[in-house]
Structure 1
Amino acid sequence: MKFLLYTTLIASLFVSNIEAIWVPKQGTTWNYVLKGGEHINVSKETAQVVDLDFTHKSKISELHSKGIKAICYFSGGTLESFRDDKDQYYKVDGLIKTKYEEFSDEIWLDHRKEGLKPLIENRIKRAVSNGCDGLEIDNLGGYKHKEVQKWSDPLTEEDTVRFARWLAKTVHSYGLSIGLKNVLSIVDIVGDDFDYAINESCVVYNECKRYKNFLKKGKAVFGVTYDGVSSNQKGLCSNLNGLGISMIVKSGSSSDGLVQDGVIFDGKKYCGDSFNPGKY
């Protein structure tokens, strides 16, 4: 009887943990703010992406007091030079690889190395301690980049799918939700494993419709477009029509640290009455 009561208690705690995971609905408004610029607001946002290390837990508590959920950011596929735990990464044989040419302060990682997993888990634990509601783990698409393709044993799509699924399963085990960042090449493969998606460039590359199956499952897609509405208006209207993507438009570029002001894209306002915002 004692064993039965114990197992029942454990099962109920597990269920409670799963039920406690915050999962945004389609149409959730959001903002993308990294590198210490968490004071910047988008009108009526109900979720905000903030950096795991640059955002103090008191700020996350403040967001919660305003009814705003916190999605905490870090890179899982690269090592960012400013992270406090960077020295631990250099201790794992074969983990540190080549420079990320687009971002000089980042180095690609061989995420097949088992030694990476406890380092990622330590960051997840810190996110839990800080009060984060979800995680955005960036740079999973290294296998598509030329720097990685030049390795003697480069990452493959299969490697990436395996890593992405491990991330999703592990993050969920700590009671947090997780968003799939970019890497549209595997969205239809791992879409069921992730709670929402975050994309920085689908308007620029005319790729937003690749989220169609993901959206059909009722999952939220958060999009961000840079350099203002006027320079992207045509692309925004054509890409977002009929899709339920929550798009914000930043006034500057991604290199600004995502602290610049932005607006929630209103398709009816910028594209006309025929614009279909999609089904929420």
Structure 2
Amino acid sequence: MRGPVAACTAVLLLLATLAACSEEPERAPRALWQPRPGLAWQWQLDGKVDPSVDVPVYDIDGFENSADDVARLHRDGRKVICYINVGAWEDYRPDRKAFPRSLLGRPNGWHGERWLDIRRIGVLRPLMERRFDMCRDKGFDAVEPDLVEGYANETGFPLTASDQLRYNRMIADIAHDRGLAVGLKNDLAQIPHLLDDFDFAVNEECAQFDECALLAPFIAAGKAVFHVEYARTTGSFCAQARQLKLSSMRKKLELGTWREPC
């Protein structure tokens, strides 16, 4: 009887081996990038990226740039941040029709944009997941989610600080689930509550409004603060920026290729 038993055992082992081989291999977790204070950067949201600026970090539009554009920057040794608007609907984006009209609030001052009702987590989460999937699939290292302080604006919805904290943490979770670092854009008042959820900060005009010291918790935690001024000259804010270890530069409001770094 040993012959048939051995044969059956061999068949069972073969079947087990085939089953193991047919299983999908687990995808290795993507190492999360952690930008450190003081890194120089370029922020270009106007059109396709110009890769000629010699800095280690680029922040560019996620829709307007391709995987090839990101790969080109990677070949040059850059890290690349994916700009995505998460707080307002934009009538010029390819996924604009996926947003129910009931989500749209008042215009936010930018052409073709309207605030989103961020209380509608169940509706917004899959929309934002698809956008962050795009950032991941194009090879970006991080995400810059824009307009994450709707609660402090006239959106057309009765948004509260708690609504914003819940939404911003959801956005951070979506990014991290995809192996993407995520930056807190402005929203200075909620930094103490969100510092642990975000990997860096992006700020506009903290010097203009005498608010740069509010970003110090990010620096103390070893997390970069990417900062721009529009109206102030570099001579009026760079000394403080260097003291605080901000990654600072002057840009024009349209965020083209021009930059004047500290």
The offset of 1:189, in angstroms, is: 0.8
Q: Which residue of 1 aligns with 2:112?
A: 105
Question: Which residue of the other structure, out of 233, 236, 248, is the alignment partner of 1:234?
Answer: 236
Structure 2 residue 82 is matched with structure 1 residue 78 = no
- CA 1:191–1:36 in structure 2 vs 1: closer, same or farther (change >3 Å)? same
Question: Which residue of the other structure, out of 217, 223, 227, is the alignment partner of 1:219?
Answer: 223
Q: State the AA in 2 paired with 1:217.
A: A
Output the CA distance in 1 between the equivalents of 2:52 and 2:192. Answer: 32
Q: Which residue of 1 aligns with 2:167?
A: 163
Match of 1:115, SS state, is: helix
Output the CA distance in 2 between the equivalents of 1:159 and 1:69. Answer: 32
Q: Which residue of 1 aligns with 2:148?
A: 140
Determine which structure has more spread, i.e. the larger CA radius of gyration: 2
Runs of 5+ unmatched residues, structure 1: 266-280
The offset of 1:98, in angstroms, is: 1.2
Deviations 1:180-212 (A, max 9, x none): 011111111101100000011111111110011
The offset of 1:241, in angstroms, is: 4.9
Runs of 5+ unmatched residues, structure 2: 1-15
Match of 1:242, SS state, is: helix
Q: State the AA in 2 paired with 1:26.
A: P
Does structure 2 retain, via aligned residues, the 8 Å contact 1:50–1:72?
yes
- CA 1:23–1:241 in structure 2 vs 1: closer, same or farther (change >3 Å)? closer
Q: State the AA in 2 paired with 1:249.
A: R
Q: 4+ runs of 1 displaced by more than 3 Å?
A: none
Q: What pairs up with 1:177-216 in 2 under 5 angstroms? A: 177-216=181-220
Match of 2:29, SS state, is: helix
Q: What is the identity percentage for the equivalent residue pairs of Structure 1 and Structure 2?
A: 31
The TM-score, its normalising length taken from structure 1, stands at 0.80
- CA 1:218–1:198 in structure 2 vs 1: closer, same or farther (change >3 Å)? same
Q: Which residue of 2 aligns with 1:17?
A: 29
How many pairs align? 241
Q: What pairs up with 1:25-104 in 2 under 5 angstroms? A: 25-39=36-50, 41-42=52-53, 44-90=54-100, 94-100=102-108, 102-104=109-111
Deviations 1:201-232 (A, max 9, x none): 111111110011221111111101125x7x35
Match of 1:17, SS state, is: coil
The TM-score, its normalising length taken from structure 2, stands at 0.85
Match of 1:193, SS state, is: coil
Output the CA distance in 2 between the equivalents of 1:142 and 1:75. Answer: 12
Match of 1:131, SS state, is: coil
Match of 1:137, SS state, is: strand
Q: Which residue of 2 aligns with 1:259?
A: 256
Output the CA distance in 2 between the equivalents of 1:40 and 1:203. Answer: 28
- CA 1:176–1:195 in structure 2 vs 1: closer, same or farther (change >3 Å)? same
Does structure 1 retain, via aligned residues, the 8 Å contact 2:34–2:181?
yes
Does structure 2 retain, via aligned residues, the 8 Å contact 1:49–1:70?
yes
Q: What pairs up with 1:111-122 in 2 under 5 angstroms? A: 111-113=118-120, 114-122=122-130
